[in-house]
Structure 1
Amino acid sequence: MPDIRTVNVTRYAAPLREGGSLPAIVEADDGFMYVLKFRGAGQGIKSLVAEFIGGEIARLLGLKVPELVFAQLDEAFGRTEPDEEIQDLLKASRGLNIGLHYLSGSVMYDPALAHTDAFTASKIVWLDAYLANMDRTARNTNMLLWHKELWLIDHGACLYYHHNWSTFPEQAGNTFAMIKDHVLLPEATQLAEAGEFARQALSVEKIAAITDAIPGDWLGEYDGETVSSTRKKYFDFLAQRFHNSSGFLNQAINGGK
């Protein structure tokens, strides 16, 4: 079971205007700063589920991801916020949100200036094909360089199939054509080795531990579903996709074709 801490947000420090989800840098009662993803943002709670699943599976693959925490927003939090848009977002996000440890001094990964070793690049491409992550392109890499190491951030766009919930289960066997736009695909020359590594690093039991750890109230707002049935759909999707990984892996090896 992933060991995820829960913190209480104590201070809204600054908004991050990148993207449509309006994340923010906040301080929590443990004294650390986090990039907070809000349940009340336009992308909704499903983006928090994707952030959690994506980050924890990346960690199992030995990739660097900032610590994830469950971040509680108190009902009174943000009442003194002067920006009406931000105040509305805070009001809509009362309860449990998700935070990533803030990597102070990090810089966005630029493929024109940085180089990634082939095996790491291949593991990241495998991860993003597995999770159907449409958001790791040259335009928006969602990777940081911090202390000369590559860190993965922002997995909220993973599992994009779940935004069409009625067809979500049947998408598990799909390939992922958008992998052709992945920023690291040109450097991912060890995809077969990365696929074998992933088969050893992951398991149905580990996938179940991750889906079991998704907060129940994140799963209670899906149309016509109970928390347990929603949780099972995520597990079934990820387990089936893992078993059928040769399809999306071969597609990535062939450049997304």
Structure 2
Amino acid sequence: MDHSTLLVSENAAFAQVIRGADPAVPIPTCPGWTIRKLAAHIARGDRWAATIVRTRADAYVNPRDVAGGEQPDDRDAEQDWVRGGAQAILDAVAEVGGDTAVWTFTGPKPASWWIRRRLHEQTVHRGDAALALGVPYEIAPDVAADGVSEWFGLLTARPESPLPEGVTLHLHATDDGLGEAGEWVLRGTAAGLEWEHGHEKADAAVRGPAANLLLAVMRRSREGVEVLGDATVWEHWLERTGF
């Protein structure tokens, strides 16, 4: 999967969704946020990631110190601002090399890690904007499935598992052609969360199209997914997996 190309296309798709929208429209899935704040979150976040990479940061960088972080009032200028952040990340990674270790909130990682992270920051927040504006949320099943996997990877970096020890959860994307990439088995352990692609009977299972699964695991929408087995396992998972 070409995360670099996808980052650019997803960034453009996010910008297109919010283009012409009332900036004061609230984002129900991000309480207290508006379309304007969502745009700032994406554009500043992209430049923050680019700064981390370009400076080869080995410690947290304050987003307030990032150049180019001021949001334009003009809507056309804001569109350019939003669209410019993705390319800034790609340029920074190309400059330092994708294998160069830099700071991330999960510990040191190759600079290229930020490309995938910012890609799925866009896929999920495009979903937020689409839900707020009442427009369709369309995403390729393989990209949505990769977003689910990326999220599970982030959760494994946490010291505590969102599943109790010994409890298992299975997710199954119903789209054609995904194969093993569209199935996940998650296990709660004393050491934290473990996950792998695969199919096995679990305490609870959640089925649906990959796009719906992505929005569901990110606690955006429960529409389009079916929960089988012990539903309390799924509820417990959602309660303990805030970003």
TM range (shorter): under 0.3
Which structure has greater helix proportion?
Answer: 2
The TM-score, its normalising length taken from structure 2, stands at 0.24
| Bigger RCO (CA 8 Å, 6+ sep) | 1
The TM-score, its normalising length taken from structure 1, stands at 0.23
